[in-house]
Amino acid sequence: MTQGSNPNEGPLAIDLSGVSKSYGRRVRALVGVDIHVRRGEIYGLLGPNGAGKSTLVKVMMTIVRPDSIQGTVLGRAVGDKGALATIGYLPEHHRFPPYLTGRQVVEFSGAMSLVPRRERKIRAGALLDRVGLGAWGRRPLSSYSKGMRQRAGLAAALVNEPQLVVLDEPTDGVDPVGRREFRDLIVALRDEGRTVMLNSHLLSEVETVCSRVAIMVQGRVVSQGTIDELTASSRRYEIVIEGTVPLWCGTSVAVQAMPPGSLLTAGISGAGTRLVFLGLDAAAAQPILDRLRTEGRTVVAVQTVRESLEDLFMRAVTDPTTGLIFKPGAAS
C-alpha cells in the first residue's frame, strides 16, 4: 500500500476470525478475536500486558495451538509451511545463541526458512548492513548490546524476503536513535510492498507508522481501524474567548442552534473561557462564532481537537463502570 490509498480496501494478508485460546478452564487468553490486516499496510497491535497480543501473534506463528480459529494468513491456512516460509518474525524476548555471530544468526534463520545457501549468504551481508551491523557481522552475539541483538533479530526476520513481517516489541531495549531507525526501516518495508504487523507498547511509535491499529483488552479486540476512524467519535471543537461563559451556553436554545454538535464543557482556562463542542466541524461552528462576535466577545483561539492514541488507548483499557484500569492478565 502506498501512502494515500484507502487503508480499508485491498486484499488481506491476515484474515482471522474467532480465534480463541484458553489455558485450562480458568484462563481465557483469546476470546473470539477477529483481525484483518491488509496487504502492504503497517498494522499496530496494542494492549496492556496480558491482553493477549503475544498469544495472538504466537497462534499465527504456530507457537501456540488455538482452541478455535478460522481464516488465513497470506491466503493460506494458519501453520501452512509455504506461508511460514514467507513470514518474517521477531519474537519478544528472543534468545539467539550468544556464541553465534550476527551473520550466523541471519544465515541459520535463512536456512530454516528454506532460503538457498548462496542466496542467504548474499542477503546476510546486505541485511546486516541495512540494520547497521555491517561491521559486527563476524562477532559473537555475546559481545552485542541489547539493541544490537534486536537489530540482528530484525535482519534474521528479513532474510527470507518476507511478504509479512511480524514484529513483537521490536524496539524493546533500543535507544531513541535506534528507535527512529527502526521506524524508518518499518516504513521502508511497507514501501517495498511488505505487510508489517507491529506489536508494541510504545504508542507514539505505533501512532507514527501504523495505518491501522487494533486495541486488545483481556483477550478481546475492543477497537480496530485507522487511527482517524477510532478517534472520530472524540473529535472536538474548542473556542477560547475572553470574559465569562455566555449565558446561552448549555441551554436548549444553544443546542438547537448548534447542530450537530453539543456543548461538552465550558469553563475558565488560563487564556480565557474555553468552550468545547463535541463532534462539531468548522462549518457548523460558524453560527456560534457569529453569535459570539455579535455579543462583542473577543475570540482568542479556535481549533479542532481530537483524542490522541494514548487517550484512545487509556479509554479502551479503562473500565467505564468503575473508572479503573482493567487488571493486567487474560480474561477469566
Task: Give the residues lining the site for other proteins (CB under 8 A).
Answer: 23, 58, 61-65, 81-82, 84-85, 87, 89, 91, 93-97, 99-100, 104, 108-109, 111-114, 116-117, 156
Beta-sheet strands, E only, within the chain? 12-23, 27-38, 42-46, 68-73, 76-77, 87-90, 164-168, 195-199, 212-217, 220-226, 236-241, 262-269, 272-278, 299-305
Residue 235, judged by CB atoms within 10 A of its CB (0-12, 13-18, 19+), counts as: middle
Cβ at position 150, least distance to other proteins in Å: 13
**Closer residue to other proteins (CB): 61 or 302:** 61
Q: Taking the complex as a whole, how short is the minimal distance between the CB of residue 138 and other proteins, in angstroms?
A: 14
Nearest to 106 by CA among 145, 79, 136: 136
Residue number, 117 or 327, with CB nearest to other proteins: 117
The conformation of residue 136, written as its DSSP 8-state character, comes to G
Instruction: Tell me whether residue 164 or residue 254 sits nearer to other proteins (CB atom).
Output: 164
* Helix (H), strand (E) counts: the chain: 11, 14
Would you say 82 or 259 has its CB closer to other proteins? 82
All three cell numbers of 23, joined, read 489455558
Partnered with residue 196 across adjacent β-strands are: 42, 165
Which three cell numbers mark 219?
483477550
Q: Which is nearer to other proteins, 151 or 297 (CB)?
A: 151
